[in-house]
Amino acid sequence: MSPMIDRISDHTLNETPRILSIAGTDPTGGAGIQADLKSIAANGGYGMAVVSALVAQNTLGVRSVHIPPVAFLRQQLSAVSDDVTIDAVKIGMLADLDVINEVRSWLDVCRPPIVVLDPVMVATSGDRLLDPSAEQALRDLIPLVDLVTPNVPELAVLLAEPPAADWAEAVAQGRRLSARAGVTVLVKGGHFDDTDCPDALVNTQGLLAHSVVEFTAPRIITKNTHGTGCSLSSAMATVQARTGDWAQSLAEVKDWLQDALTYADDLEVGRGNGPIHHFHRLFSEASAASAVPADPAPFSSTLWRDVELIRLQIFDLPFITDLSSGALAEEDFSYYLAQDALYLATYARVLAHASELAPTVSAQRFLADSAARCRDVESELHRSWLRQQPDPDEAGPVTTGYVDHLLATSEAGNYAVLLAALLPCFWLYSDVGDRLHAEFLSRTEEEAHPYAAWLETYSDEEFAAATRQAIALTDDVAATVSESECAAMRQAFTTSARFELDFFDAPRQLVKA
């Protein structure tokens, strides 16, 4: 086991992780250290900052860069690490060879538990930002970090290859960089013009359940993307310090980043490419709180509001629209059901464990009955659909990520958080079933629907009643736990909801791959 892996495994996860950003500045607040601090705070961390470069820039572009003496950089780093326990480090702009070497020397001595490197090497215009000797020093720094988050041009520079022409080539380059440097690579698809925006965690060293774990989301159409790379990498450092699981961290961060991009236009900052809205969720909650009546809505209302964007995205997926119309390809539906069968086996186990943790007899009975329903009724439906197909024996990356999230939450042993993690499989499925079944009923009898049996199963009253009971149990337990546990419940619920979205989209991603 490498020293880097040793220090990660020995690290104690922190509910409010202390995150250090080493990066340049942005006076307009959209990128660099200013964006990092916002991103860290928005994702539940305590942010600290060491300035590597002073940058005169705005939303229209960079005007000049001043690099303070490297001795002052050394003093900043020492001042922080001599006093504060650092849970994770995000490294951004390292403007020249001396700065890179100084940060490397500090890493050798300090050995933070988690290090995320955003290799700032290529400007949006395509201009190279480092001289050749500094580029090589940055390549040599990569084996000392845990996650590197290059954009497509930077990934090419790190490998000394031409930029990838498409997503598949970018992932292949991520594999080569991971194999060469022994690091996890976050490959980002933002530079391509596809309707979706994929991201993939790539590791060839066996540190992930699969060598490639991919997540995708609809591309948000906005010019206000300034600082997205900075924000993503600092958010990953923050969430990883809480979860200890890169796949779970990316699921959470991608969900948050989608919101930040969706509402970026609301900020109206600058005349060029403005910043993302780091604190959209906080502002939305504050606005909602001001309108809360004396008798506040149940906790579940907050959960449902948290995943509003995810719910909208689900109904925009080609899988769902084609399922509704009956035009969905049989092989896509078969793949979905095969993965669902694998998922349900674990889901039933986790439900059974939740039953063991439940504080009341009625909750124990409901969760145990739900586990049995997964094993029996729903499994029988899958067997009937898949009777002409080979038994599913390999979980896809989304299935693996989802079950790993549920198992990790189950093993943690917090009943409230586990219940929140289990709830989206009830609630989102019920929502989808209700809507699709309503559309199905609006068809004439002459219009045969190939997936009627599935729609009937997820829209029947028994499943709707089970969903209502799962929601009620969640509200009951939320009223008895601390604020920090409620926050953990919301995070677990949102993570599972994001996996539900990706699960519905997995057949299409398989075809694209």
Count the residues in the chain. 513
What does the pLDDT look like over 359-394, one tens digit per residue? 998 899 999 989 988 777 556 655 665 555 545 557
Predicted confidence at residue 6, as pLDDT, reads 40
154-169 CB burial, b ≥16 within 10 A, e <16: bbbbbbeeebbeebeb
pLDDT, tens only, 227-281: 999 999 999 999 999 988 898 888 889 888 988 998 888 889 999 999 999 998 7
* Rounded mean pLDDT, 171-200: 89
Q: What is the pLDDT of residue 475?
A: 92
Which position among 30, 59, 184, 188 bears the catalytic label?
188
Report the C-alpha dihedral over residues 441, 444, 445, 449, rounded to 10 degrees: -60
289 neighbors 295 (Cβ within 8 angstroms): no
| Least reliable range by pLDDT among 101-105, 197-201, 211-215, 301-305 | 211-215
Catalytic residue among 44, 229, 396, 433: 229
d(C-alpha 439, C-alpha 441), whole Å: 5
Catalytic residue among 59, 204, 216, 228: 228
Average pLDDT over residues 152-165: 93
> Do 183 and 147 contact (CB within 8 A), yes or no?
yes
- Give me the catalytic one of 149, 204, 225, 474: 225
How high is the pLDDT of residue 315? Answer: 83
Q: Rounded to a whole number, what is the distance in angstroms from the first to the last CA of the chain?
A: 32
pLDDT tens digits along 127-158: 667 878 889 999 999 999 999 999 999 999 99
Between residues 138 and 333, which one has the greater pLDDT? Answer: 138
More confident of the two residues 506 and 46: 46
Q: How far is CA 138 from CA 34, 101, 131, 227, 346, in A?
A: 23, 9, 11, 20, 42
Q: Tell me what the mean pLDDT of segment 41-49 comes to.
A: 95
Q: Which of 227, 274, 396, 433 does the annotation list as catalytic?
A: 227
The better pLDDT of the pair 510, 209 is held by: 209
Residue 246 CA to residue 256 CA, distance in Å, equals: 15
The vertex-508 CA angle with 186 and 491, nearest 5°, equals 55
Residues 275-319 have pLDDT tens digits of 999 998 777 655 544 444 444 568 888 898 888 888 888 888 888
Look up 188 and say whether it is catalytic: yes
User: Please, what sign has the CA dihedral across residues 390, 391, 394, 398?
Assistant: positive
Tell me what percent of the residues of the chain surpass a pLDDT of 90.
49
CA separation for the pair 461, 465 (Å, rounded)? 6
Mean pLDDT computed over every residue of the chain: 84
C-alpha–C-alpha distance, residues 182 and 202, integer Å: 11
389: its two tokens: 């197909």
Q: Catalytic residue at 229?
A: yes
Confirm whether 227 is a catalytic residue.
yes
Three-class SS of residue 388? coil
Range with lowest mean pLDDT among 142-146, 175-179, 194-198, 492-496: 194-198
Look at residue 289 in the predicted model and tell me its pLDDT: 47
- pLDDT over 60 (residue 3): no
Picking from 127-131, 199-203, 283-287, 405-409, which range would have the lowest pLDDT averaged per residue?
283-287
Residue 225 annotated to the active site: yes
